[in-house]
């Protein structure tokens, strides 16, 4: 009996031992035309055994790269794609340029630091005020991620002054967003009151109509009973 420990190394396990034996046999074929024809047949078989590769872009290119890899790059056939090399396969990727700078306030993140730097350079007072309100609201949101209780506006104002080196002064309740939010809340309450009043009126009208209909039905039953008794 033949064990796997006595066999050669299986290069690509997803294709199995039989495909590797076929590719090894292709290398031993001396006739170039016959070797090319058998290589095309093995490529079709590899695509059939791995149908998920059909959803991958340039899947036939991958199949040709795989067959060269299985043969240890010893297969001499004509490929419609550039033949890969062992050096290219084992080449190490370039190192990624990781950022060397670290934010001063890591609990807020680097993006908030960039926004604060942009807000300090803003010359338009309205836009600068909008930046300040947005940054302060985000600082409140970030605070609630680490604490269960809400943060006071004076603490946000003091911390923002410290981060921006006294260039951004947060004034709670002075922005237009707060007024618009209060207007939205008042409009919502007004709309809710109007909806409830209309619903109450419709309920009373339907109840009155239902009561009148029930009275009419009772009167009709009483009249019919009286007529039958007289007969």
Where does the chain have alpha helices with state H?
16-28, 32-49, 59-70, 86-89, 110-120, 125-146, 153-163, 176-230
Position 188 scores a pLDDT of 38
Residue-wise pLDDT tens digits, 17-71: 999 999 999 999 999 999 999 999 999 999 888 887 777 778 889 899 999 999 9
8-12, 50-54, 186-190, 216-220: least confidently modelled range: 186-190
Residue-wise pLDDT tens digits, 94-140: 888 877 766 677 777 778 888 888 888 888 888 888 888 888 888 88
In the predicted structure, residue 156 carries a pLDDT above the cut 80: yes
Position 181 scores a pLDDT of 35
In the predicted structure, residue 184 carries a pLDDT above the cut 70: no
Mean pLDDT in residue range 153-163: 85
Residue-wise pLDDT tens digits, 202-228: 655 555 454 445 455 555 555 555 455
Task: For 26, list phi and psi in degrees, rounded to 5.
Answer: -60, -35
Residue-range domain boundaries for the chain: 4-89, 95-173
């Amino acid at each position: 009996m033949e064990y796997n420990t006595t066999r050669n190394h299986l290069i690509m396990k997803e294709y199995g031992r039989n495909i590797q034996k076929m590719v090894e046999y292709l290398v031993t074929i001396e006739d170039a035309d016959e070797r090319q024809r058998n290589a095309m047949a093995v490529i079709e078989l590899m695509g059939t055994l791995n149908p998920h590769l059909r959803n991958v872009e340039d899947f036939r290119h991958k199949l040709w790269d795989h067959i060269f890899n299985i043969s240890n790059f010893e297969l001499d056939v004509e490929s419609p794609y550039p033949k890969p090399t062992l050096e290219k396969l084992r080449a190490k990727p370039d190192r990624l340029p990781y950022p060397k700078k670290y934010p001063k306030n890591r609990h807020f993140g680097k993006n908030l630091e960039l926004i604060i730097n942009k807000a300090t350079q803003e010359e338009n007072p309205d836009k600068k005020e909008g930046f300040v309100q947005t940054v302060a609201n985000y600082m409140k949101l970030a605070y609630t991620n680490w604490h269960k209780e809400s943060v006071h506006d004076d603490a946000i104002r003091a911390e923002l002054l410290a981060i921006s080196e006294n260039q951004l002064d947060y004034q709670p309740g002075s922005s237009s967003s707060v007024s618009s939010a209060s207007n939205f809340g008042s409009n919502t309450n007004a709309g809710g009151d109007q909806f409830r009043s209309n619903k109450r009126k419709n309920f009373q009208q339907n109840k009155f109509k239902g009561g009148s209909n029930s009275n009419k039905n009772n009167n009709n039953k009483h009249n019919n009973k009286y007529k039958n008794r007289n007969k």
